[in-house]
Structure 1
Amino acid sequence: MEKSKDKVKEPFSAYGSYSYADYLSWQMDEMVELIRGKVFRQAAAAPRRIHQEVSMVLSNTLYQFLKGKTCKVYVAPFDVRLPVSSRKHKDIDTVVQPDLCVVCDREKLDELGCVGAPDLIIEILSPGNNKKELQLKYEVYEASGVKEYWVIHPDERTLLIYTLEEGKYRSSRLYTMGDCINSQALAGFELDLDEVFGEL
């Protein structure tokens, strides 16, 4: 008997509002994120080469620095749940997959990823996702208490750091090649941007 060629209905609607419990029930090939209950699709295509190279340099540099320390670095895909009032799956309406994140409180880690704000989140911009990273994620990261949030623009070879101070983000100047930056969230960590962007 010939299989039905009917399209499989997506488990969510662009107009719906969903929780992490819903998210866990979806069986999909593509990655999605939830921001305040709304579904955002990840790019259908694989990340571009330049994105991957920046991610590899950063993850390796952070891994080497954190060896033997309490903090751990994770790379996407890795679910970060940002609860507001409850850690129950049905009550969490924001789950994101940052390109990289560092978690220093091991109590926030479980078999599904991280529940609660990482100490550091790094997002590497790709064509088409700038609004999500720069506006929507900025707002939830600030509200959730992410201590430090880096936004990297690989095409322009720039890095902007947002540091949480008294519940609000303070922006750094725009860093680029030739700069060496320090992290306030990870004491002693320095990053030479020539090493990040030099071979792109």
Structure 2
Amino acid sequence: PHTMQRYEIVNGVMIVTPAPIMRHQWILGKLYRLLYAFVAEHQLGTVVMAPFDIVVQREPLRTRQPDLLFISTERMPVEKLIDLERLEFAPDIVVEIISPSERTSDIAKKLNDYLAIGVREVWLVNMQTKSVEVLVSVETVWQLHGLFGEGDTIKSQVLKGFEISVAEIFK
């Protein structure tokens, strides 16, 4: 459905999600700028902010809208991505900024969906604890790459050479 509301479709049912708070958007903007600058400089692919659908399953329809995603040129050249209405394959990296109201069970369902379609790396950014949990897919499970706090630097396993200090994300 075409609507101004942010939503995901789970088992054919539209689940409307509340508008993000300002801190969420602030963090999203910082992550987008830093990730995009690295990806563009090295011509590695493209970075996309929500709202943009990833189709997890067709019947019944299930979509997800991660806060941020990275698609490498190996998955699809940038010039072919620009006309897509939705993504029908897995991005390489997904970033979810966890809202205080988000339930652990909802996060687990998203992680299961991302693993099922072949996402290689997920960042769970926790606004309350000012930490970032990075998971990498290893065959059929998520493996913890690290739980990073304010004094730490995150090094992506998928985007070799990309580093970001956790303090930079939250300041």
1:61 aligned residue (34, 43, 46): 34
Alignment match, 2:17: 42
**Does residue 2 of structure 2 align to residue 32 of structure 1?**
no
Larger radius of gyration: 1
- 1:158-169 equivalences under 5 Å are 158-169=131-142
Q: How many angstroms apart in 2 are the aligned matches of 1:153 and 1:133?
A: 14
Give the TM-score of the pair, scaled to structure 2: 0.87
Q: How many angstroms apart in 2 are the aligned matches of 1:92 and 1:180?
A: 40
SS of 1:67 mapped into structure 2: helix
Alignment match, 1:95: 63
2:76 aligned residue (106, 113, 116): 106
Cα deviation 1:128-185 (Å, max 9, x = unaligned): 2233642110111111111001111112101111100112110234211010011111
Q: How many angstroms apart in 2 are the aligned matches of 1:176 and 1:27?
A: 39
Give the TM-score of the pair, scaled to structure 1: 0.75
For the Cα contact (< 8 Å) 1:124–1:154, is it kept in 2?
Answer: yes
Which one has the bigger strand percentage? Answer: 2
Task: Percent identity, please.
Answer: 30
The alpha-carbon distance between structure 1 residues 70 and 173, as it changes in their structure 2 partners (threshold 3 A), is closer
The alpha-carbon distance between structure 1 residues 67 and 162, as it changes in their structure 2 partners (threshold 3 A), is same
Q: How many angstroms apart in 1 are the aligned matches of 2:111 and 2:146?
A: 16
**In the alignment, residue 10 of structure 2 is paired with which amino acid?**
I
**RMSD between superposed Cα atoms in Å:** 2.0
Alignment match, 2:145: 172
| Deviating more after overlay: 47-56 vs 101-110 | 101-110
The alpha-carbon distance between structure 1 residues 151 and 81, as it changes in their structure 2 partners (threshold 3 A), is same
The alpha-carbon distance between structure 1 residues 92 and 101, as it changes in their structure 2 partners (threshold 3 A), is farther
Q: CA deviation at 1:60?
A: 0.3
For the Cα contact (< 8 Å) 1:125–1:133, is it kept in 2?
Answer: no
Note the residue ranges of structure 2 that are not aligned, 5 or more in a row: none
1:72 aligned residue (46, 51, 72): 46
Q: CA deviation at 1:39?
A: 3.0
For the Cα contact (< 8 Å) 1:81–1:92, is it kept in 2?
Answer: no
Q: How many angstroms apart in 2 are the aligned matches of 1:59 and 1:192?
A: 14
